Each structure stands twice: as C-alpha cells, then as structure tokens.
Copies of this chain bind each other. A is one copy, B any other.
Amino acid sequence: TKEDFDLAALYVSDAQYNRNIFFDTSPQAVRLYLLYNHWLPRVFLYFFILVDLALALFEEPAVVPLPFWITMLAELLCLLVFTVRLFHYAKVIPRDKFWKDPKNICIIVILLLTLIDMIIYGALVATNCYAVRWSRVLRPLLLVNITEGRQLRRAFRSIRNALPEIFYVFLLFMFSVLMFSLMALKLLGKRGLKTIDGSPYFSNYLEVVFDLYVLVTTANSPDIMMPAYNYNDIFVVFFILYIFINTYIFMTAFLAVVFNNYKKHLKEEVRQLVRAKRHKMVRAFAVLQERRGEGGELVVSQANWNQVVRLVQPNISNAHRELLWSVCDDKNQGFIGKLAFVQLADLLNIEVITLKSRPHPLQSCCPRLYLSAPSRLICRMVQHRAFVIAYDLLILVNAVFIGLDEENPLIANSEWVFLSLYLLEILLKLYVFEPRSFFSKNSFWNWFDTIIIVSALIATIINSALKSSGGYTSREILDIIFILRVLRLIRVVDSIGRFRTIINTLIRIGPAILTFGQLIVVVYYIFAMVGMELFKGKVNFYDKDSADPAKAYCGNPLLQKTAFAESDYCKNNFNNVVSSFVLLVELTVVNQWHVLSSGFATVTHVSARIFFVLFHILVVIVIINIFVSFILEAFYVEY
C-alpha cells in the first residue's frame, strides 16, 4: 500500500541521514514524522534558537538596550516554538520512548526553569529588587538537546568519555604544581626578592600556585623567572625542570590521553552508527519484502524498490536510479535480497557526478563561428598550461601592486587593468568551457573567482561613481575593495598540486569543524553569562577621544598602575555579550590571560581567578585537545 511505501521510504531516509529515531509506525505518526523531518520546521527551530541566544545582545548588560518586557516577550515566543516542536516530537514517537530519552527531559527542564526564572525576574523587577536572569546559561543547552544536535552530542560524549582519564592525569599534574609551588615558596620566598612591579616575590603559597599554574600555560614566561634568575643562575634549573615536566610532559600527556580516548570512542561510535543504519534498513526491508514462491527467500522486487527510491529522493534521475539498481542487483534477477537491499542507504549517499559532454551553447547556436579557426585557436590557448601560468604571474604582479601605495595615480589606474584582465579570463573560460559545467557544484574555485571579481568590479564602479560625483570616498566600500583585491590572490594556491591536496583536506574537515564551533559557542555562552553577572560594569572602556582621567584606569581606581590598565585592556570586559565573547577568545588563545584574570580579580576578589582557571581547564586542556585530536585523526584519514 501507499502507507507501506511511505514507511519504507522513511526508514531508508533515516538510514541515509543517520537519524536514529524510533518513531511510531501508525500512519498518522508517520505523516507527522515526515513533517518533523521537513527542512522548513528545522530551519524555523534553528532560527528561534538563534533568536533566543541573540537575546543576550538586548538584555542587561546590553549591546543595544531594550526594555526588558520586549526581550521577555521574545523569549516567551521562543519557548512556545520549542514547546510546539517538542510536542510534535512527542506525537511522533511512542510515549514510553519519549519519557525515557534524557534529551527530552532536559528540554522540558530547561523550558520549565526558564519560565520560572522569567516569572521570578518579572516579579523582582516589578518590586524594584535586584534580579538575575540565571536561566540564561541554560539557553545554549537547547542546541545540544534538540534531535538535530546529534553531532554536538557526539562531541560532548567524547568529552565525557575522556573526562575520567583526564581527571587522573590532572590530579597528578596538580600534585606536581603544588609540590613545585611548595618548593618555590621555601627556596625563594624568604630571600626578599621583588618582582618587576616591586611586590614581594613568591611569598604567599596561593599566589605561587597561581603564578606557577600560569607558567604551565607559558603566559608569564620568562617574567616569573627573572627575579630568581637575576639573583642566582642556579634557580633557572628549577624553572626549566618545572616547564619541562608540567608544560611539555603533562600538557602533552593530556593531549595523548584525550587523543587515545577519542580514537577508541570514535571506533565505537562508528560501529553504533553502522548498526543503527543497518537496523533501519532491515525494517524497511521487512515492510517491502515478498516471498519468492513457496518457502523461497524473502526479496524486494525492482518495481517496489523503484517506488521507494523515488519517494526517498524525488529528484533522482532515471539514469542514476538504474545505475543504483544494477549495483544492487548485480545478477540481473529483477529482485534483491536483504543483503543487497541494506546497502541502499550508503549507495544513496554516494555522489554521482554525471559528466555529460554537452556541446557549448555557442556551438549549437552558431557552429560556423564557434568552430572557425580563430575560435579554435582561442580554445586551445585557454586550455594550454601557459595560460594558467600567465595568470599566476599576473596574480604575483598584482600582489606587488597591491602592496604599493594606492594613492599613486598609476597604481590606482592599474587596478582597472587587473580587473579587466581577470574579467577577460572568466569570459574566455566561459567561451571555452560549457557554462553549466564551469559553474557546477564542485567547481569551488570557479565560483570563488567569479564572485570575487564581479563583486570587486561592482564595488570599484560604485567607488569611482561616488568619487567623480562628489569627490567623496566611502571608507567601507574601499575596505571591501581591498579585501576583495587580496582575496583574489588566494586563487594562486589552486595551481600547485600539493597545496590543492592540503586545501582539499581542510575543506573536507570543514563541516566537522562547524560542530566544534557549536561546542565552543555553547561553552562560551555559559561562561559569558556567568562572567557578565560577576564582572559587568567593573571595567569600563573609554573612547579614544575621551578626556576623562578615569580612562587611564578603565574607570575603576582599583586598576590604577596595574598591568591590565597599562596594557590598555579596558575594552576586554564583561560589559556586554560581544565583548565577553572577544575576551573569552583571548582567554582561549591563553597569552596574557593572567593579566586579564588579575585585572578582574583586582576589581572584585582574588577568588575571581577561579573563573578564569576553570575556563582554561575546560576550554584549553579539554576542548582544544579534543579539537587537535580530531584534526590529527582527520589528517590521518584524509590526507
């Protein structure tokens, strides 16, 4: 029946896209499930998650302040959307499955807590009390717990799996840091040495621990060592030993532990994925199967198979479908068994590039001209290796011209020459190659070139028009032109085979890096929310033109003469979500993080450092190491 085909098609497409959802098989649930998987509600959901996360821009402390009832209303709308989506999901899968799935429970808890927090917050604001929107830290967790967050959950799982082993290495590492600190305190604390800013050197145990923890991240090397080194050469041995053991051995041990765990669990994850996929396909087979004669084997006929494939991929070409069938039914029997059927999901994922040698449209419309001797000469010329080399040289010359002063009229005019030469190249290529294959999905560089050149052309023309009309040049347009000009040069790497391999490897691992991007956003968002509550308004940025004397100490007298203020770090604050994110990026890069954290400890309390150390442990020791493990493995597999 029609419903059977729908069901089978659903199983196949679940297998194809690695969806592992045990939906109800009643016709109504199947219809709802089809709707659930439609791209529109998914985009809708992500859009509202984005809106929910973006609310931080408008809530206190805000980038663009809005009255709190507007953001509250927007959040209510988001909550509504999430609830509807969850309700939809509940209708799709059996009730017991729904309540057993921790991610659904998580979403419900998040929604409820958010609602409670909003009510409390509203009440407190109404009575003019101090109120904190604490449920904001829960927002990014939605990204993890929605059914579409499969990849992200996998990343979190690999973190969780690595945690026990990391924990033991971390304990040993902290033991080592504490021992070295004790030794430093005993050896250097009583010698009356001073740091460069005149404070006593290594005189307080907790300070020593923090300083030596920072040394592990190398951020205060060699400054932390200089007073001891200036006092006596021999103390250098202590620091070198410390750095060797803690920075090189322990930090690499962290990477090693994470990497081993990652590899081990990657295999397990892949195995589970394959198992789930097979399970779905077996179910699809069970729906479609017929028995060949009395007591014969169970098979799927070509007609049924065709119908399912057409349902799964409505826009598949007949040629492609027939190719797939001939792969499955290699004995040409007109039916296939379970084994052959199961591989369909993988076959559908293989991208088949149909290289049709279509004639050039110009050849069809005016063959005489297109096939004439000069036209053919042009074709041969463009396809010649020398053409590529000539344009690579042109790019190099262009690079030099870009480097030169653009105020020089000669240089400024040369831009037109380069632009037209690049445009000529594209036109020539379009003349020679069939346009549809030139702009095929896989011709990354053709797309890249054309977009860059055309945008540069448009921007340059607008700029010239503005200039000649009013003598006025828009800084923004000029910036865009400059960026486009430089981007244009990137094309040169495509000419060198070795570079192409590396770039292709990087492009292939791109989608997985996006998962890490989400992971980082989740962690950053939580830390940003907490950081804003702890540190908002403590450090203030003053504009360049401001004459306020408070500018020298970021508007907080406690910061007077600190490294934080003297390094001009006032804009690195938690006063809104954007500057928080920038600050967290700086903390991820690690350098100078002790200056940043000491700044915030100065304006609040020394225990504020815990926030920064926690961030370092979680992001740099755990997440960055998982990221590195992922790249190591990806390069091993892909390169």
Contact = CB atoms under 8 A, between A and B. Distances in A.
Interface of A: 168-169, 171-172, 175, 179, 182-183, 185-187, 196, 205, 218-223, 226, 229-231, 233, 236, 240, 243, 247-249, 252-253, 255-257, 259-260, 399, 402-403, 406, 479, 482-483, 485-486, 489-490, 492-493, 498-499, 502-503, 506, 541, 544, 567-569, 571-572, 578, 582, 585-586, 589-592, 624, 627-628, 631-632, 634-636, 639
A448 B381 CA distance: 78
A27 to B, nearest CB: 48
Contacts of A483: 183, 186-187
A627 B627 CA distance: 19
Contacts of A499: 168, 171-172
Contact of A636 (B223, B231, B260, B541): B260
B503 A260 contact: no
B243 A502 contact: no
A196 B486 contact: no
A169 B591 contact: no
A592 B636 contact: no
B218 A590 contact: yes
Given A183-B483, A187-B483, A221-B586, 9 more contacts: A172-B493, A218-B590, A220-B591, A222-B586, A222-B589, A226-B571, A233-B582, A240-B582, A253-B631
Contact of A221 (B196, B205, B589): B589
Contacts of A403: 182, 185, 205
A591 B589 contact: no
A627 B249 CA distance: 10
Contacts of A399: 182
A552 B119 CA distance: 62
Contact of A229 (B179, B582, B590): B582
A503 B172 contact: yes
Contact of A256 (B486, B589, B590, B639): B639
One complex includes copies of this chain to the number of 2
A226 B586 CA distance: 11
Nearest to A164: B498
Contacts of A260: 635-636, 639
B568 A219 contact: no
Nearest to A169: B502
B479 A187 contact: yes
B182 A571 contact: no
A568 B196 contact: yes
B255 A632 contact: yes
Given A631-B252, A632-B252, A223 B567 contact: yes
Contacts of A485: 186
Contacts of A639: 256-257, 260
Contacts of A236: 582
B635 A256 contact: yes
B402 A186 contact: yes
Q: 5 nearest interchain CB pairs?
A: A256-B635, A186-B482, A221-B591, A218-B591, A222-B586
A230 B589 contact: no
Contacts of A257: 635, 639
A589 to B, nearest CB: 5
Contact of A175 (B482, B493, B585): B493
Contact of A631 (B172, B233, B249, B591): B249
B544 A230 contact: yes
A226 B568 contact: yes
B233 A578 contact: yes
A220 B586 CA distance: 11
19 contacts: A168-B502, A172-B499, A182-B486, A186-B482, A186-B485, A186-B486, A196-B567, A196-B568, A218-B589, A220-B591, A221-B586, A222-B591, A230-B541, A230-B568, A243-B589, A249-B631, A252-B627, A256-B632, A591-B591
A521 B308 CA distance: 68
Contacts of A486: 179, 182-183, 186
A569 B502 CA distance: 40
A489 B179 contact: yes
A568 B197 CA distance: 11
Contact of A222 (B186, B229, B569, B635): B569
A255 B634 CA distance: 12
Contacts of A172: 493, 499, 502-503
